[in-house]
Amino acid sequence: METKEKTESPVAHTLKKAERLCSKKVIDELFAEGESFLAFPIKVVYKVTELPQPVPVQAGFTVSKKIFKRAVKRNRIKRLMREAYRLNKQMLPLLADEQQMAIFFIFIGKELPTFAQVEKAMKKALYKLAESSKKAEEKA
């Protein structure tokens, strides 16, 4: 038997349950007090806040039921967004000690996207998030 050598990068490309935004309390606070920006076709709402899990960032994903009536299409778009986030989340810099961030990605496009479109928008969104977190650290 041959043994397979690991050719993966040292960064783990995973999206564990603890990294998903599930807390209703945090989500309500995020939409009430969070900041937002657009990286079309994704709208990003984020806030530096206290999270119930010991992870630096928790992310949530949603697609409008009004625009995409069929659950199959909504679920596909959410899968694409989660995959794009999972592969590119290392673009987010680690926040200062004891700081955590909640992020919500909202798909606002009108047509079913390809993975390339979603990944391009996700990279743009993560880049903007990285820039805004650097500015926030400079102010503090």
CATH number of 17-139: 3.30.230.10
What sign has the CA pseudo-torsion 17, 91, 43, 28?
positive
Strands 42-48 and 101-107: antiparallel
| pLDDT of 133 | 75
The DSSP bridge partners found for residue 107 are 42, 63
pTM recorded for the entire structure: 0.87
- E-only strand ranges, the chain: 35-39, 42-48, 57-63, 101-107
pLDDT tens column, 88-124 = 998 887 766 678 899 999 999 999 999 999 999 999 9
The dihedral over CA atoms of 21, 24, 26, 28, expressed in degrees to the nearest 10, equals 120
Handedness of CA 15, 59, 93, 87 (dihedral sign): positive
The reported pLDDT for the residue numbered 78 is 97
Residue by residue, pLDDT tens for the chain (140 residues) are 555 444 444 567 888 999 999 999 999 999 999 999 999 999 999 999 999 998 999 999 999 999 999 999 999 999 999 999 999 998 887 766 678 899 999 999 999 999 999 999 999 999 999 888 777 666 65
Domain boundaries, the chain: 17-139
Closest CA to 62 of 48, 50, 37, 45: 45
